[in-house]
Chain A
Amino acid sequence: MSLLTIALKSIRQRWVPSFLTGLSVALGISLMIAVMILNGVVTNIFQQSGSGYDLVVGAKGSDLQLVLSTIYHIDNPIENLPWRFYKELSELPYVKQAIPVNIGDTTEVGNFPIVGTTPRYFLVDYIPGKSFLIKGDGLRGTWDAVIGSQVARRNGWKIGSQFKMVHSGQADHVHDELFTVRGILAPTGTPNDRTVFVHIDGFFALAGHDKPIEEAIAREAKFYGESEEQIREFYKKDLEEIARHQHEEAEDHAHHHHHHALSDLQKEVTSVLIVMKGDEGYQVAGNTLFLQTKLKDGFQAQGANTVQVMSRLLTNLVGNVRLAFLYLTSLIIAVSGIGIFVSIYNSMSDRKKEIAVMRALGARRQTVLSIIMLESMLLCVLGGLGGILLGHGLVFIASPIIEARSGLLIDPVAFDPLELIVIPGLIVMAMLIGLIPGLTAYRTDVAESLQG
């Protein structure tokens, strides 16, 4: 009969406390596994989303707010930039792609964020090496929309579905115009999955999305640090065209005043996604830094590097939360370890005679020490294995639910390399836990215990 069998029998003999202590280890470990996997997923999302762009350019302010609002749609946009500025950016010799993005509105059904952009949005990899897959068409016409996979699933929208949007921050202001779903994105595991993309022309054509002329002139003058006259001069042709339109409208009331081509003066963008030119990584990095510095020095715009901003957030905030979670789960495991210690240690007084009998039958001191240590290890390792299974089970069951509710794509069979140290770690813990009761067994006075 091996020592392992003896230890197992002994555990079975006291199965209630053994089961409970093993269970506490299992729960602690399962929590740790779930936290590790979810943490890995969140870290990936924070590190990868928007990593396909070299810079996000927006109004000056918090770069975090810029990234969160543009890439994650979880913060309010700072302020808008003049369309003229976007055009200037796109014409810079070192810029490969400049994609305008307008945010702030949401869908009437499901409250999903709406991004007004150009069809080029879908031509740029959202994560380096990963390009969008669209079922159906892209954004072709003014009133076309492409929706993320989550939006399609949760709103039950298909190609051909029509929807209205709610004007930013005004729950009761629903735009009359209808957009039609022309394409559905394959899941990306990024915030794109819960976003509705509409053609930027349609976005501008919505009532209230064209800035009043005087306001636009004042705003642009301030942005470029020029006089209003200079701005008027710059947009001379546009202003004449607008004046002509207004005259026609005054004469013909039936004419719908929204659906004419908007002047660039009245257009704005919330942010611009920039992909730099450069064959080598260092060229891209150099160009990125150049533009970022140039923006910092002048105008009223800033360029935020998504990856940098998010790693800063990850380190400062999410990193701490992750650390807190890991501390918490470690604490839970330590508490279960103490539980095992108490359980084994308490059993020692009941087992003195048992140990003395084994010794009288010829078991050596080391043998009884080993039996107790093995018991501790079995409880910890079996509990740990149970915990790993339970943890993965939790992730397996929870991943579709989390995906449905938050859009976070979680691999149900995700594995964190850190898990590899769980069992060796538990063995070390078990050895520490088993040592004191084991030594009690080691020191048992056989003659006295047989009498007792």
Chain B
Amino acid sequence: MSLELLQVRKSYREPGGGLLPVLEIDAFSIPQGEQAVLLGQSGGGKTTLLNVISGITTPDAGQVIIDGVDVTRLIEPARDRFRAERIGFVFQTFHLLPAFTALENVLLGMSFAGRADRTYARQLLERVGLGKRLSHRPSQLSVGEQQRVSVARALANRPRLMLADEPTASVDLANQTNLLTLIRETCREHHVSLLLVTHSPEVSSQFERVENLQEFNRAGMHR
């Protein structure tokens, strides 16, 4: 199993002092290599779920098992390292670093895992169709190109799991399908499991496995 969530609970403290439950997931899993889409409305806990899975946020309770490792039991530096090595992230607004070229943005993620491989970074960028844009900065790239760089960056450390948070939200319709195809194909080529969250039925319709977050997140059901 690539990803397994067991009895995961996460609440936020409200300004009034009360607790607002955001995640109450009893069980959720993705087998290795599978691609799943998680459909949910804004404020439904999608981003919190991705943060909990990636170890950015720790859950109040439960287990998050990735590639056989319970991420919740790792201390923070080990979690950071685990995230760098095993999880790829594609953000809604790409989050490319403006000071770095396309190639450097890909290399940056590799550096934090301690294995910067310039040849592989170049290959990845060539794979996403940016072989001739290696030394361009984000400001010199189109929105679609920027998102492709972020896909290459997510794959840089040969992760076991890719998390994509609304990756097509900032891209125009014409580019949406291309981008989705790219993400799905590259994940398949690298045997990476994919969990993509979106609120768009158009996006989810392209996946075989579609989960509705509200259906298995009991915290969402309460609201």
Contacts and interface: CB of A to CB of B under 8 A. Distances in A.
B109 A362 contact: yes
A12 B97 CA distance: 13
Contacts, number: 73
A360 B99 contact: no
Interface stretch (B62-70, B78-86, B177-185): B78-86
Interface string B104-136: 100111111100100000000000000000000
Interface stretch (B49-57, B168-176, B208-216): B49-57
A389 interface: no
Interface in A357-381: 357-367
A9 B99 contact: yes
Given A1-B116, A361-B89, A447-B57, A10 B109 contact: no
B95 A363 contact: no
B104 A1 contact: yes
Contact of A1 (B48, B89, B107, B157): B107
B31 interface: no
A36 B189 CA distance: 66
Interface string A34-61: 0000000000000000000000000000
B104 A9 contact: yes
Contact of A354 (B97, B107, B110): B97
Given A363-B80, A364-B80, A446-B56, A358 B108 contact: yes
A372 to B, nearest CB: 14
A360 B97 contact: no
Interface string A333-372: 0000000000000000000011001111111111100000
Overall SS of chain A's interface? helix
Nearest to A451: B47
The residue in A1, A6, A10 that gathers the most chain B C-beta atoms within 10 A of its C-beta is A1
B207 interface: no
Nearest to B156: A361
A358 B76 CA distance: 15
B95 A357 contact: yes
B97 A357 contact: yes
Contacts of B95: 353, 357, 360, 450
Contacts of A451: 47
A13 interface: yes
A364 B77 contact: yes
B108 A361 contact: yes
B99 A12 contact: yes
A79 to B, nearest CB: 75
B161 to A, nearest CB: 13
Contact of A359 (B47, B56, B99): B56
Of A362, A363, A366, A451, most buried by chain B (CB within 10 Å of CB) is A362
Contact of A362 (B47, B84, B98): B84
Interface residues of A, number: 24
Given A1-B107, A447-B56, A362 B112 contact: yes
B91 A362 contact: no
B66 to A, nearest CB: 14
Interface residues of B, number: 31
B97 A1 contact: no
Interface string B132-168: 0000000000000000000001000100000000000
B80 A13 contact: no
A446 B77 CA distance: 14
B57 A361 contact: no
A379 to B, nearest CB: 15
A1 B109 CA distance: 9
Contacts of B85: 362
Nearest to B104: A1
Contacts of B54: 360
Contact of B99 (A10, A353, A361): A10
A363 B112 CA distance: 5
A447 B165 CA distance: 13
Most A CB contacts (10 A, CB to CB) among B76, B100, B153 go to B100
B80 A362 contact: yes
A397 B87 CA distance: 59
Nearest to A14: B99
A13 B108 contact: no
A88 B98 CA distance: 87
Interface string A4-36: 001001101100000000000000000000000
A354 B54 CA distance: 18
B56 A360 contact: yes
A437 B81 CA distance: 23
Contacts of A367: 112
Given A446-B56, A450-B91, A362 B100 contact: no
B153 A361 contact: yes
A168 B109 CA distance: 82
A1 B47 contact: no
B67 to A, nearest CB: 15
B40 to A, nearest CB: 16
Nearest to A11: B99
Contact of A365 (B48, B76, B98, B99): B76
B51 A362 contact: no
**Nearest 10 CB-CB pairs, A to B?**
A362-B84, A13-B99, A362-B112, A357-B95, A9-B99, A1-B111, A361-B109, A364-B80, A363-B112, A447-B51
5 contacts: A6-B111, A9-B99, A361-B108, A363-B112, A447-B56
Given A447-B51, A451-B47, 6 more contacts: A1-B110, A354-B97, A357-B95, A362-B109, A364-B77, A364-B81
